[in-house]
Amino acid sequence: MKPIIYITLLVLLLGLYSCSQTVKVEETVKPNVILIITDDQGFGDLGYYGNPNIKTPVLDSLAQRSVRFDEFIVNPVCAPTRSSIMTGKYSMTTGVHDTYRGGAMMAGSEITIAEILKAAGYDTGMIGKWHLGDNYPMRPQDQGFDYTLNHLSGGIGQYGDWPNTLKKDSSYFNPILWENGKQVQTQGYCTDVFTEAAIDYVEDHKNNPFFLYLSYNAPHGPLQLPQKYYDMYKDVDIDAGLINQGKPYPNVTDHSRENSRKVYGMVTNIDDNLRLFFKKLDDLDLEENTLVIFMTDNGPQHPRYIAGMRGKKGSVLQGGVRVPSFWYYPKTFKAPRDIKTPAAHYDILPTLVAFTGAEMPDNLTIEGQSLLPLLQEEKETLPQRVINRYWARTAPIRYRNVSTRKGNMKLVGIGKDENGKDAFQLFDLSTDPYEQHDLSDTNPALVSELKAEMTSWLDTMETSEHIVEAPRPIIGTDFENPVMLNQNDALFIKEAGVEKELMYWDVIINETKTFDITVHFDSPIKTTGTLELDLGETTLNLPIEADGKTQYSFNTITLEKGALTIVPKVYLKEAGTLKFTYPFYIEIKG
C-alpha cells in the first residue's frame, strides 16, 4: 500500500505544481502594445469631439471605451512630436527641431522605446511614417524595430521621398516603400497598405508580446484619397452645425472647405481600416491583453473645425498642440473617463516602461513621467510641472512661437511688438480654453516668472549636444549600401554669388575606401551645363550634355575616414545663361 499511496501523493503534488505553474505563467503574460498615430489629424477631426460632419464611428467608439487625456500636448509639427514619443525627451535634445532642411534627423545614440521593449523580450514593429532620418544610423531598423515598413521623408510623395515623388498626384496609390531596408512595390492606397501590413504583423506575432508602432501618413498632404471617400463629402456643408456651437470658429475659405472634405474622407478611410484591424485583434483573442493608444501628431494643416481652439499646425496655441489621446486596455483600465491632468508625448515612453515591467536603462535622463498612476486610478493628479513648446524653420528665435505652461497658466511668445520689444500673451486655460483673453497686461509678475522659465529652457535647448553638433548619416557601413542622400535631410546655406542656397549634406565616412557617387535628377537633362561636386577640400567636375540622362556618376572616388561635407553644384544653360539648380538625390555606393 505504501508505494501506491506514495505514487498517488506524488501525482497529486505534481498536478498541483503544474496548476500553480500554469497560473503563474498566465499571470506573467506580458501585454501587447499598439501605438496608432495619424498625421495632421486635428482635435476636431473626430465625431467624438463635436464635429457633426465627419464619419468616424470606430474612433468614436474607441474614445467612448477608453481612458482619455483631455489635455494631451504635443509639438506643433510632426517630426519633433515623433522624436519625443520615441525617446521621452524634448525633441531638440535629440537633434530634431524641424520637419526638413536637416532638422528631422534623430541622433542614432538616442535610446528609443522600441530598444527598451526589445530588451524586455518584445517583438517590435514600425509601419508607416518614421520621419526621424532616412539613413543609417537613424532609420527605424537602426533604432530598435525588428520589422519596418516605411516611406521616406515627412510624407509620401514629398521631395525627399524620391521613389514616389515623380508620381505626383497619385503618389498615395501603389507607393514604393521600404521593408526592412529593402525597396518594395506595394499595391493599393497607402492607408490600406499600412493596415494590411499591421494585420499581418499581429497575426505573425500573436504568440509573443509585441510593440507595434502604426504610424499612418494620412491625412497629411498631398490630399489624395480613393474616389469613394471623396464622394462621401463632396456635397457636405463643412460649416453646418459648427458656426453656432458657441465655440470660436476659424476663418475658412472655399479652398480650405474643399481641403476639409478631402481630409474628412481620408480620416473616414482610416476609421474603416481600424475597424478591420481591431476585428483582427478580436479574432485572435488579443484585445483583452493589448493596450491600444490612439493619438495624432499635431493640429490640422489648414483652417477647419478644431473644437473652438485657436491656431493650427505649426502654432504653439492650443489648436496646434492639443490632440486626442485614447488609451484602451480593458484588462486594467476598466472605467472610461477623462483625465484632466496635462500630459504630453514624452510621457509615453516612461508610461510604457512601467506598464510592461521593462527596465529603464541606467543613466537615461528623460523629460517625461509615467502616466500609469492616473490610468490605473492610483492617483487623481500628478505634481505640477512646466511644459514648453516651440517651432520655427530654424533654431529658436526668441521669443516667437514659443510657449511655457505651468499648471493652467500659459505664456505665449509672439515675437516683437511695433517697438521692437519682446511681446507675449498670457492665458488662463482653466477659464479660457480657447485662448481669447490675454492677461499679460494685468499680470506682469507672472509674465516675468514664466518668461524666466522659457528663457532657461531655450538656453538648455540651444546648447544641447545634438543641436550644437547635428546628427549625421554614416557612409560606408554594411548596414546601408548604397546610401541615398535625399533633400529632406539636406542642409542649406547661402553662398555669395549663387542665386539659390547651396544644398549640402554633413556625413561621416566610416572608413577610408573608394566609392561610386551618382547624382540623380528628377527629369531628363535636355540642355548643357556643368556638375561640380565638392567633397571637403576636393572638387570633382563633369560636363553635362543635352543627352536626356537623369544621372551622372563619379566612379572609384576615395573618401577618407571622418567627417565630410558633400556639396553638389549644378548649372544648366537656360536662355543662354547658366542657372543654378538642385539635384534630386545623391547615391553613394561602396
329-383 tens-digit pLDDT: 999 998 899 999 999 999 999 999 999 999 999 999 999 999 999 999 999 899 9
Between the alpha carbon of residue 285 and those of residues 27, 123, 175, 290, 424, the distances in Å are 16, 18, 32, 10, 53
| One-letter identity of residue 229 | Y
C-alpha torsion sign, points 311, 313, 319, 322: negative
Please provide residue 501's backbone torsions phi and psi, each rounded to the nearest 5 degrees.
-65, 145
pLDDT at 574: 84
pTM over 0.85: yes
pLDDT value of residue 394: 73
Q: What percent of the chain clears pLDDT 90, i.e. is strictly above it?
A: 87
Q: In the predicted model, what is the mean pLDDT of residues 55-81?
A: 98
Distance CA(306)–CA(56), nearest Å, equals 15
296: pLDDT strictly greater than 90: yes
Identity of the residue numbered 310:
R
Q: Which residue has the cell 500673451?
A: 425
Q: How far apart are CA 564 and CA 509, in angstroms?
A: 7
pLDDT in tens, 37-67: 999 999 999 999 999 999 999 999 999 999 9
Average pLDDT over residues 492-520: 92
Confidence of residue 194 (pLDDT cuts 50, 70, 90): very high
Q: By 3-state DSSP, what share of the chain in percent is helix, strand and coil, each rounded to 5? A: 30, 25, 45
For residue 500, the model assigns a pLDDT of: 86
Predicted local confidence at residue 4, as pLDDT:
40
Closest CA to 120 of 30, 212, 28, 25: 30
State pLDDT tens for residues 389-400.
999 987 668 899
Q: Which residues contact 251 (CB under 8 A, 6 or more apart)?
A: 303
Structure confidence by residue, pLDDT tens digits, 216-225: 999 999 999 9
- What number is the average pLDDT over the span 88-114? 97
Give me the pLDDT at residue 578, please.
85
Mean pLDDT over the full length of the chain? 93
Q: Evaluate if residue 387 carries a pLDDT over 80.
A: yes
Rounded mean pLDDT of 515-524? 97
CB 98 within 8 A of CB 82: no
Cell numbers that stand for 506 in this block: 554633413
- With the CA atoms of 368, 372, 378 and 383 taken in that order, what torsion angle do they form, in degrees rounded to the nearest 10? 10
Q: Which three cell numbers stand for residue 45?
A: 477631426
Chain segment 472-484, per-residue pLDDT in tens:
999 999 999 999 9
pLDDT band at 260 (very low <50, low <70, confident <90, very high): very high
Give the three-class secondary structure for 303.
coil
Categorize the per-residue pLDDT at 145 as very low, low, confident or very high, splitting at 50, 70 and 90. Answer: very high
Predicted local confidence at residue 395, as pLDDT: 67
Region 23-27: what's the mean pLDDT?
Answer: 38
- Mean pLDDT over 520-544 rounds to 95
- pLDDT of 405-454, one tens digit each? 999 999 999 998 888 899 999 999 999 999 999 999 999 999 999 999 99
Better-predicted residue by pLDDT, 4 or 64? 64
pLDDT tens, position by position, 226-248: 999 999 999 999 999 998 888 99
* pLDDT of 2 strictly over 70: no
Grid coordinates standing for 301?
494643416
pLDDT at position 244? 83
Q: Is the pLDDT of residue 27 over 60?
A: no
pLDDT at 245: 86
Q: What is the pLDDT of residue 105?
A: 98
Q: What is the pLDDT of residues 553-575, one digit of tens each?
A: 999 999 999 999 999 999 998 87
Q: Where does the pLDDT of residue 7 fall: very low under 50, low under 70, confident under 90, or very high at 90 and above?
A: very low
